[in-house]
Structure 1
Amino acid sequence: MIFFFIVLAVHTVVNLYIAIRGWQALEAASNFRPWFIAFMILVYVAYPAGRILEKIWYHPIPITLHWVGAFWFAAMLYVTLMLFLTDIGRIANHFFPFLEKIAGSNVPAIKLKFFIAVSAISGLIILFGHINAWYPKTSRIDIVIPKEAGNLQSLRIVAVSDVHLGTIIGPRKTGKMVESINRMNPDIILFAGDIVDEDVKPVIKQNLGRNLQQLKAPLGIYASTGNHEYIGGGDPSINYLEQNGIRVLRDTVISIHDNFYVVGREDLHKKWVTGNPRKDLSEILKDIDRSKPVILLDHQPYNLDDAMEAGVDLQISGHTHHGQLWPFGYVTNRIFEVSRGYKQKGNTHYYVSTGFGTWGPPVRTGNRPEIVLINLYFE
């Protein structure tokens, strides 16, 4: 509830700021002001109204509100950044008047031109970011593990994180993901959390499990939990995934044909939902054969030294989206030791994916979504 009220407060303040600046900018087009205020009220209530309504009434009206509100979240960011820049100009004009010299007495016309320019630039950024979010790249990495894995010389892993199945990531994009994964002919498929975007009801309504059932990998399909599975209540989302062919490892280690281990850690968010913290990694791995390769799925890439000290060979994580929207990637770089991509510490290899889907806005301006192909070679 505290988090909800903080988000609501920020959402309110930012929209109020945009509304006030927009009203001021429309001095030369005052007939448009009522329409602008109506628009601001709509986008302000759209996302929370859509998310609440679709839980009880999965209908085109709340779905449309959800989409409108989601796009507006991204627009809010870039409109606000540009308004900050114009406010810096206004402050400079207060001390060193230059606007009146440029515009003469027609300052309202200049304000209107700024309104149009900010709106157009924001729209183009959102359009580009939405197109970018629909075309994931394939990131390939080759890693040598100095261990034997039975009779395996290599292992072809396709790893995906942060799909966020739901209203935004629906049948078309889910089908595209499944097709892309199967085209890579993986030996094993690993999901590093946040497969479901909180509420599982839109996933069930759209029958997205039908797409997941088309995934093919001879050594199986495994997943760890993410914070969004737990935001959605935990068990409903997890049960749905398991009913549709994905085995969710919850503080569990499994031996794959006695050749190597796959470990799935519970997400850190489990503690906030259930009141019970996840197990220590050392406890999970206490009975394994350390001479065999160990692959760990841990959604949030905190405390990377834990995996290194536990003798993990490869950790796959997600969660960060590397900020998803520029410039938030600079923030995630400060929060996480690895915000995206590959790193090696000691004998442990780490890969943090930017994720396949999107959370909130169906927009990516800071990076591209990805599916990760990892070729492990055993020596």
Structure 2
Amino acid sequence: MVFVLVALAVLALLVGVHRYVWRRFVADTTAPGGTLRRVGTAAVWLLPLLSVGALVSGRTGAPFWLQQVLAWPGYLWLAALLYLTLALLVGEAVRPVLRRVLARRAGGGTATENDSAESLSSQVEAPAAGNSPARAAVSGAPATLVADAPVTAPADPTRRLFVARAVGGAAAVAGLGTVGYGTYGVLRGPRVKQVTVPLAKLPRGAHGFRIAVVSDIHLGPILGRAHTQRIVDTINRTQPDLIAVVGDLVDGSVADLGPAAEPLAQLEARHGAFFVTGNHEYFSGATQWVHHVRELGLRPLENARVEIDGFDLAGVNDVAGESEGQDPDFERALGGRDRARASVLLAHQPVVIDDAVSYGVDLQLSGHTHGGQLWPGNYVAELANPTVAGLERYGDTQLYVSRGAGAWGPPVRVGAPSDITVVHLASRQA
């Protein structure tokens, strides 16, 4: 019942937002019955349908080619709707100011006076038509003076249309420009961040050990093989000692996305590349993907750990694995180890930090949040995650959260650029 109510509330919100966008961009700026009015109205009906199709096509087993056809327009419209709406809301504050400026230039007074003048004009016209001077008297003024006075209605249709088009045009440029730049940032590929993390128990011999952390690649109907290749080339250029792929590699099946993942076989690191599942793997056939990444040369850590020079590297399944009997098992991954050794945990979601603290983990590497991906989504992400991006300390455990190398849904990032992070482990004994 709660789910139904939430779904209805979301649907009502989307309908209201689309109606608002249609009114400001179409109804207020085009002539009734005109071609532009018809095209704009059709777009406001079609685009949300494409968005729904993009969201459900993968879950319903639609052919991959159809997912690709729907994905670009459907997902981009979701981002465009967000920023067009935000731009229009800013425009609501600009609209009365612009009217006031235009009214003053036309000698019509303020915006408030405009509305009064328009009302006054309607009162003047009625008695003139009925030859009743007595009814034409307004505020005690003689009827002849009111009737003969030149009444200017600054809120005339021409001026109103100009304001609507000016504000709508500026909002379109701002909203679509934001989406365009955010899309470019995703397609360009992630940038490399360098972070130094001191670990009290790390021996001097492991000082400077470099872990390339990449999460949330999100291969799917939009981001494919070229996206993977850019990421692999970027990681290899950093010459890391170890590579950690921290979940949400894919949004789709091995059958559809296997070729897109093939460049992962080119990853190069002295201690190899390791992989843990994210929640999206459990939407895409986690068991098949674990087998496939193993074939590509990555080593899955399914509630397991290995000893690396100077520290223990552990990995746990994502919490979404509970639905398939593949829960994160911290006892298997971390129980019984020598706590005098430094430890690094790979876990897709930051929310498991409490478990990491209880098992004496020194550093947890995570992703999942995308840093919010689309501002102001970072504020929403903060409600569900202890850390949205960057390095923070929880007791004796440090948590580093990557913003991720790809994007889910709209291939757009605003205020949360994609990244690959090279974590430099530092020994306090060095």
Q: TM-score with structure 2 length normalisation?
A: 0.77
Displacement of 1:224 in angstroms is 1.4
Q: What secondary structure, in the 3-state scheme, does the structure 2 residue paired with 1:373 have?
A: strand
Partner Cα separation in structure 2 for residue 230 and residue 289 of structure 1:
32
Q: In the alignment, which residue of structure 2 is the partner of 1:26?
A: 29
- The question of whether the paired residues in 1 share the 8 Å contact of 2:335 and 2:359 is answered with no
Q: In the alignment, which residue of structure 2 is the partner of 1:161?
A: 215
Displacement of 1:269 in angstroms is 1.5
Find the partner of 2:68 among 56, 63, 85: 63
Q: In the alignment, which residue of structure 1 is the partner of 2:122?
A: none
Q: In the alignment, which residue of structure 2 is the partner of 1:73?
A: 78
In the alignment, structure 1 residue 248 sits paired with structure 2 residue 253: no
Q: In the alignment, which residue of structure 1 is the partner of 2:238?
A: 184
In the alignment, structure 1 residue 122 sits paired with structure 2 residue 175: yes
Q: Residue 5 and residue 275 in structure 1: after superposition, are their counterparts in 2 closer, same or farther (change >3 A)?
A: farther
Q: In the alignment, which residue of structure 1 is the partner of 2:316?
A: 265
Q: In the alignment, which residue of structure 2 is the partner of 1:43?
A: 47
Task: Structure 2: state its 5+ residue gaps.
Answer: 100-110, 116-152
Q: In the alignment, which residue of structure 2 is the partner of 1:278?
A: 328
Q: In the alignment, which residue of structure 1 is the partner of 2:394?
A: 345
Q: Residue 282 and residue 73 in structure 1: after superposition, are their counterparts in 2 closer, same or farther (change >3 A)?
A: same
Deviation sequence 1:203-235 (CA, Å, 0-9, x none): 12xx12321100011212112111111122322
- The question of whether the paired residues in 1 share the 8 Å contact of 2:189 and 2:227 is answered with no
Q: In the alignment, which residue of structure 1 is the partner of 2:200?
A: 146
Q: Residue 98 and residue 78 in structure 1: after superposition, are their counterparts in 2 closer, same or farther (change >3 A)?
A: farther
Q: In the alignment, which residue of structure 2 is the partner of 1:235?
A: 287
Find the partner of 2:88 among 83, 104, 107: 83
Q: Residue 150 and residue 117 in structure 1: after superposition, are their counterparts in 2 closer, same or farther (change >3 A)?
A: closer
Larger relative contact order (Cα-Cα within 8 Å, sequence gap ≥ 6): 1
Q: What secondary structure, in the 3-state scheme, does the structure 2 residue paired with 1:128 have?
A: helix
In the alignment, structure 1 residue 335 sits paired with structure 2 residue 335: no
Q: Residue 9 and residue 260 in structure 1: after superposition, are their counterparts in 2 closer, same or farther (change >3 A)?
A: farther
Q: What secondary structure, in the 3-state scheme, does the structure 2 residue paired with 1:358 have?
A: coil
Partner Cα separation in structure 2 for residue 199 and residue 97 of structure 1:
61
Q: Residue 5 and residue 346 in structure 1: after superposition, are their counterparts in 2 closer, same or farther (change >3 A)?
A: closer
* Greater Cα offset, 17-26 or 126-135: 17-26
Q: In the alignment, which residue of structure 2 is the partner of 1:196?
A: 250
Rg (Cα) greater in structure: 2
In the alignment, structure 1 residue 366 sits paired with structure 2 residue 366: no
Q: Residue 83 and residue 193 in structure 1: after superposition, are their counterparts in 2 closer, same or farther (change >3 A)?
A: same
Displacement of 1:303 in angstroms is 4.7
- The question of whether the paired residues in 2 share the 8 Å contact of 1:270 and 1:277 is answered with yes
* Greater Cα offset, 142-151 or 355-364: 142-151
Partner Cα separation in structure 2 for residue 339 and residue 82 of structure 1:
25
- The question of whether the paired residues in 1 share the 8 Å contact of 2:345 and 2:361 is answered with yes
Partner Cα separation in structure 1 for residue 417 and residue 113 of structure 2:
41
Partner Cα separation in structure 1 for residue 154 and residue 279 of structure 2:
53
Q: TM-score with structure 1 length normalisation?
A: 0.87
Deviation sequence 1:303-328 (CA, Å, 0-9, x none): 53332231111100111111111111
Partner Cα separation in structure 1 for residue 114 and residue 379 of structure 2:
34
Q: Write the letter of the residue equivalent to 1:76.
A: L
Instruction: State percent identity of aligned pairs.
Output: 31
Aligned-residue CA RMSD in angstroms? 3.0
In the alignment, structure 1 residue 217 sits paired with structure 2 residue 269: yes
Q: In the alignment, which residue of structure 2 is the partner of 1:294?
A: 343
Q: Residue 86 and residue 347 in structure 1: after superposition, are their counterparts in 2 closer, same or farther (change >3 A)?
A: same
Aligned residues: 372
In the alignment, structure 1 residue 324 sits paired with structure 2 residue 330: no
